[in-house]
Chain A
Amino acid sequence: MQASKPSVAAGGGGRATFALHAVAALACLCALNWLVATKVPLHIQMLETSYLIFFYHFPSAILCTVFFTINAVFSVFYLATQKPSYDLHARVFAEIGLVACCIALATGSVWARMAWGEWWSFGDPRLLWVAIMCLSYAAYVVLQQFMEPGERRMRYAAVFAVAAAINVPLVKYAIQFFGENQHPMEMTSSDSSLKGTQWFGAFAFLLFYLLVYRWRIAKEKVRASIESSLSAARRIEEGRLA
């Protein structure tokens, strides 16, 4: 019997929404660039034009903590229910959170060089906690990538993620807990365009990271589907040989 041909429509709706999502993310990011290039003041307080990098630093910094928190929530769900799909979502959120964290660190470092005259300040509590958080989640991703797939890996990763999530409130409240050293609590300016651009940037980057998230989930699902087909083929082969 001839197997039915795969339907062309399979995933068609998903493809259309993905394309729309991509267009929206690109439009928002380009709009952010335009706002930074034309609307915000050239310099504020004592900061010169180098502060413009803030509009790329802030969204990634805020979103990485959001993604790590979601990772912890999915990990708790996994521990409670043992459903592999929760592990997959936790893993992907940790990956995009790690990318966001690296971007925040890189842009922050360039900015620090201009504002403070040094690439990194070991005496600053927030910087230190962000670096610790970044390394924790890098370890989580390595654990997920290099342990043998299976229930054991998912359980270990979930426990690790819950433990690593302690870093998130420490980063958020580092300045309140340990005092302000160099990293400011927040940027202040009388110019209203600054706050608007800052939060619009967060929205634009959120769209972008969610696009990456959808892409990673789709990729993992395809891989799982191929692996399941291969294991079915192996079972048939073994049955024939027996």
Chain B
Amino acid sequence: MRMLSRAKRVVGVALVALLACLPCVVLAQDEAGGDAPTVAGTATVEELTDFRSYLMFGFSLVFVLIIGYLVVSQRRNAALAEEAEFLKKRIDELGK
């Protein structure tokens, strides 16, 4: 079960990393000459600036998701720490 849980975590991290790389891949496709604007092609500066705005939005969204998860998880950690502290005290009292 622990192995499975770890595997799930690894898959989760890999998905987040893929999500984080997605804008870069899109950018790379643009550079390769896709339909989206390219510097070498016919793109105007305005189009490129728009594209960079999408990139900024994408990355910011990824960071919000990751940091949001960390904050929620940390709250859970704190609640668990309190429970563990309480449990330890009870066990110590029972052991006396």
Question: Which residues of A are interface residues toward B (Cβ below 8 A)?
Answer: 1, 3-8, 10-11, 14-15, 18-19, 22, 25-26, 29-30, 33-34, 36-38, 42-43, 48-50, 52-53, 56, 99, 102-103, 106-107, 110-111, 113-114, 145, 208, 211-212, 214-215, 218-219, 221-222, 225-226, 228-229, 232-233, 235-236, 239
Q: Give the bracket for the number of chain B residues in contact with chain A.
A: 35 or more
Rounded to whole Å, the gap between the CB of A145 and the closest CB of chain B is 7
Contact in complex: A215, B73 (CB < 8 Å): yes
The 9 A-B pairs at the shortest CB distance, nearest first, are namely: A37-B56, A225-B84, A33-B56, A37-B52, A6-B86, A6-B82, A48-B39, A11-B78, A29-B63
Contact mask for chain B residues 19-41; partner A; CB cutoff 8 A; 1 contact, 0 none: 01100110110111000001110
Assembled-state Cα–Cα distance A48/B27 (Å): 11
Instruction: Report whether over half of chain A's contact residues are helix, strand or loop; otherwise say mixed.
Output: helix
Contact in complex: B71, A22 (CB < 8 Å): yes
Closest to B88 in A: A229
Assembled-state Cα–Cα distance A11/B78 (Å): 6
Contact in complex: B60, A33 (CB < 8 Å): yes
Assembled-state Cα–Cα distance A113/B25 (Å): 10
Residues B42-94 near A (CB distance < 8 A): 45, 48-49, 51-53, 55-56, 59-60, 63-64, 67, 70-71, 73-75, 77-78, 80-94
Contact in complex: A3, B70 (CB < 8 Å): no
Rounded to whole Å, the gap between the CB of A121 and the closest CB of chain B is 16
Contact in complex: B6, A50 (CB < 8 Å): no
Contact in complex: B95, A218 (CB < 8 Å): no
Q: A53-B24, A232-B91 are in contact. Are A215 and B63 (CB under 8 A)?
A: no
